[in-house]
Structure 1
Amino acid sequence: MTATASEHTQANAFTAQLHSAFPEHGTPDPRARETLLARLHAHYVSYMAGPESFASIPRLNSDPELTAVEDAWLRWEDAQVDMSRLPATGKEFKDWFLTVADQHTQPEFCEYLAHKASLEEMALFFMGEELVDSKFDDLMAMVQIGTEGHTKLTIAENYWDEMGEGELDAVHTRMFEHSAVYMRARLADAGVDRSRLHCPEAFENACLLLMYGIHRHLNPRALGAMGVLEQSASPRFQAMVDGCDRLGVPADVIDYQRVHVHVDADHGAEWFDGVFVPLVDRSPELLREISLGVATRVRVANAYYQRIWHVMRDLTS
C-alpha cells in the first residue's frame, strides 16, 4: 500500500470514528467518543504545561483532526440545546439562569455522597473531580483576558481566592492535591483501578471548560459555564464534607472541600452581579453565547455525575 493510500485509509477511519462519536442522528458510540475526547483532553492539558515545557506546547489548531473533533463536538452539543428556551433578553436571563443552575445540584447524588458512599466510592469521585479541579485556577486566569471594569475585578477577586489570598498552602489547587494524594492511596490500598473513570462523560466534563477557556472565541461560553459551576457547586462540596466526616477521613484532607462550601456560594452571587449583569445586555449574540455555555455545562455535568455515580456503585455491587 502506498503512503498516499495509507493516509487515505487512515482519513476514512478517522471520519467514521468522528461520525460514530458525534452522530447527527442516533446514539453516540461511547468507545469512539471516549477515544476522541481523551485525545482532546491531552491536547488541552498540554497548553497548560509549565514554562520548562515550552518546546512541547502545541500551536493552536495545528492538528486538523483535533479541530475536526472540536467542531463536531460543538455542533453536537449545540444540537442538544433547545434554542427556543434560551433567554431572549438580559431581563429574562436571571430567572432562567437560577432555574437552570438549580437543575445542576444533583440532590439525589449529594444525598448518596453524604450518607451512603463507601470510602472507596468517595475516593473514586475525588479522582473524577481531579480532571477539572486541578486546572481551575488556570481557567480562572484565562477567562479574565479581554474583560474590563467590574467584570475583570470580579474575576480577579475570584482568582485571588484560588491563590489562597497569597498563602502558598492555601492555594486551592495545592489543597486539592493534598486531598487527591490521600484518596489515591485509599484506592491503591483497596486495589481499585482508577481506569474505571475512563468514560466519555468524564472526558466531556473535563474538556468542556478547557475548550471554552483555551479558545478565545468561546470566552462567553466559558464565562457562562464557570458561572453556573460556581452557583451550583456548594451542595456537592457540603455532601463531600459530610460523607468524609461520616467515613472518618482526616479533617485536613477535606480542607479544600470545606472551604468551597461557602466560597462557591459567595462566588456564584458575585459572578452573577459582576460578570453576567454587565454583559448580558450588550447584544443578543453575546447573551446567546453566555446562555449556551450555561446550558451545555449543565447537560455535560449532569451526564457526568450520573455516570460516575453508576461507576461508584459498581464497586459495591
Structure 2
Amino acid sequence: MTALAHSTLDTVTARGPISEAVLGRLRGHADTAPADAARAALPAVVDAIRDDDVQLALFLLYASSYGSLPGLDPELEWDAELIAARRILEESFEAALRAQVPQPESPEPTVDAVGRALFSLAAADTGPSLSRYVAKKATREQIPEMFIQRSIYTLREADPHSWAIPRLHGRAKAALVEIQADEYGGGRPDRVHAAIFARAMRGMGLDDTYGAYVDDVPAITFASHNLMSMFGLNRRLVGAIVGHLAAYEMTSSIPCRLYADGLRRLGYPEAVTDYFDEHVEADAVHEQIAGRDLAGALAEDHPELLDDIMFGASACLTVDGWMGGHVLDAWQRGESSLRTGALA
C-alpha cells in the first residue's frame, strides 16, 4: 500500500482545459484565462455534476477560499478571473443539480412542520447502503478507499456549513453555532472531528494531509464537497446550506454505528473507530437541533427560504447517495472506486 501520497498545488493533475486554466492561474502562469476556458468548454459538458474537469476546477476554486491546499497564494482568493470562472461553473453546476435533484414538497413554514418534513425526507432515503456493506462485507483492502473518498470533506468537516454563521440571525444562528461548537471539539483541539478523522487515517497508514488524494477521487466525490461549498459561500443559498446540514445530521448516527461495527469486525483499533463512535451519539443530538431549532426556525422566520431548505436537504441525500453508490457499485464489481492506483 502507498501510505504517503503527499500533495501540494504543484502536484495536482488537471483533468481538462478548465482545471488546467484554473491551476495555471493559481500557480501564477496561466496561458488561458479560466473564465474563457470555462465558457469554451462548458457547451460540450454532458453533466456538470459528474464531469471531472468541472468538478476539479470548482474544488480548486473553493480551496482558494478555504486555504486548504499547500501552495495557494492568499492574494488570489479574490482574483477577478478566478471569481468569474467560479461563477460560470457554479451556474452550470447548480443548473444540473436543479434538473436532477428532486424538489420535495414544502410543508407549512413552522418549526414542527419543517422538522417533521425533513425527518420524513431522510427516512425515505432507502437506496443502497455503503455503511451496511462495510458493516457486513467490506474487506481490509476496500476500507482504505472509503477513508480516501471521505477525506475530501471529512478532513475539513464542518467548515462548509460554518460559512452560514454570519448569514443567520437569532435562534437559527444560535442553533448552528451549538452544532458547530461540537464539530470543532467544544474547545478541545484533540476532539475536533476533522482531527479525529485525521488520526484514523494515520492509524490506517494513510496520508492525512488535506488534498493528498486529490488525483485519485472521482468527480462525484468532489461534487459532494463542492455542493456544500457552493451553498455555503453564496448568501442567496443560505436556505440550501441549512437544509443540507439538517439532512446530513439526520443520516449520520446510524451509518456511523455501522461503519464502526464493520471496522471492529475487521480488527481495526480504537484509534480508527473513534471517529465513527464519536458521531453515533453526537449526531443523534445534532439531528434534532438541525431539523427543528435550525431549519425549522429559519423557515418560520424567513418563509421565503423554505423551498431552498428542502432543496438543500434533498441535494444532500441525493448527491451523497450517488457518491456512495459509485463506491458500492465498484466494490461489488470487484474493482477500485478510485480513479488511479492510490493503493497500488
- TM-score band (shorter)? 0.7 to 0.9
Q: 1 or 2, which has the higher helix percentage?
A: 1
Deviation at 1:49, TM superposition (A): 1.5
Q: TM-score, normalised by structure 2?
A: 0.77
Q: Decide which moves more: 97-106 or 73-82.
A: 97-106
Name the SS for the 2:240 alignment partner. helix
Instruction: Answer whether contact 1:244 1:254 (CA < 8 A) is retained.
Output: yes
Q: 2:140 aligns with which of 119, 128, 134?
A: 119
Q: Which residue of 2 aligns with 1:3?
A: none
Deviation at 1:166, TM superposition (A): 1.6
Q: 1:80 aligns with which of 69, 88, 100?
A: 100
Deviation at 1:138, TM superposition (A): 2.2
Find out whether 1:71 has 2:95 as its counterpart. Answer: no
- CA–CA separation in structure 1 for the residues paired with 2:305 and 2:231: 14
Structure 1 segment 192-207 matched on structure 2, within 5 A: 197-207=216-226
Structure 1 segment 135-146 matched on structure 2, within 5 A: 135-146=156-167
- CA–CA separation in structure 2 for the residues paired with 1:233 and 1:86: 23
Find out whether 1:48 has 2:66 as its counterpart. Answer: yes
Deviation at 1:254, TM superposition (A): 1.7
Name the SS for the 1:295 alignment partner. helix
Q: Which runs of 5+ in 1 are unaligned?
A: 1-5, 187-192
Instruction: Answer whether contact 1:179 1:254 (CA < 8 A) is retained.
Output: yes
Find out whether 1:294 has 2:313 as its counterpart. Answer: yes
Q: Which runs of 5+ in 2 are unaligned?
A: 1-30, 337-344
Q: Which residue of 1 aligns with 2:77?
A: 58
Question: Once the two structures are aligned, what percentage of the paired residues are identical?
Answer: 22
Structure 1 segment 164-203 matched on structure 2, within 5 A: 164-185=185-206, 197-203=216-222
**Kindly tell me: are residues 141 and 60 of structure 1, through their superposed partners in 2, closer, same or farther at Cα, counting changes over 3 Å?**
farther
Partner amino acid, structure 1, of 2:57: R
Structure 1 segment 234-313 matched on structure 2, within 5 A: 234-313=253-332
Cα-to-partner distance string for 1:163-217 (whole Å, 9 max, x where unaligned): 222222111111110012233549xxxxxx9678522211111111111112222
Find out whether 1:36 has 2:60 as its counterpart. Answer: no
Instruction: Answer whether contact 1:237 1:260 (CA < 8 A) is retained.
Output: yes
**Kindly tell me: are residues 278 and 195 of structure 1, through their superposed partners in 2, closer, same or farther at Cα, counting changes over 3 Å?**
closer
Partner amino acid, structure 1, of 2:88: A
**Kindly tell me: are residues 110 and 253 of structure 1, through their superposed partners in 2, closer, same or farther at Cα, counting changes over 3 Å?**
closer
Instruction: Answer whether contact 2:135 2:259 (CA < 8 A) is retained.
Output: yes
Partner amino acid, structure 1, of 2:63: V
Deviation at 1:44, TM superposition (A): 0.6
- CA–CA separation in structure 1 for the residues paired with 2:73 and 2:38: 29
- CA–CA separation in structure 1 for the residues paired with 2:290 and 2:48: 36
Q: TM-score, normalised by structure 1?
A: 0.83
**Kindly tell me: are residues 62 and 273 of structure 1, through their superposed partners in 2, closer, same or farther at Cα, counting changes over 3 Å?**
same
Deviation at 1:82, TM superposition (A): 4.3
**Kindly tell me: are residues 73 and 240 of structure 1, through their superposed partners in 2, closer, same or farther at Cα, counting changes over 3 Å?**
same
Instruction: Answer whether contact 1:124 1:183 (CA < 8 A) is retained.
Output: no
Q: Which residue of 2 aligns with 1:151?
A: 172
Q: Which residue of 1 aligns with 2:117?
A: 96
Cα-to-partner distance string for 1:231-282 (whole Å, 9 max, x where unaligned): 1111221111001100111112221111001111110011122112212134
Q: Which residue of 2 aligns with 1:233?
A: 252
Q: Alignment RMSD, CA only?
A: 3.0
**Kindly tell me: are residues 14 and 185 of structure 1, through their superposed partners in 2, closer, same or farther at Cα, counting changes over 3 Å?**
closer
**Kindly tell me: are residues 170 and 43 of structure 1, through their superposed partners in 2, closer, same or farther at Cα, counting changes over 3 Å?**
same
Name the SS for the 1:300 alignment partner. helix
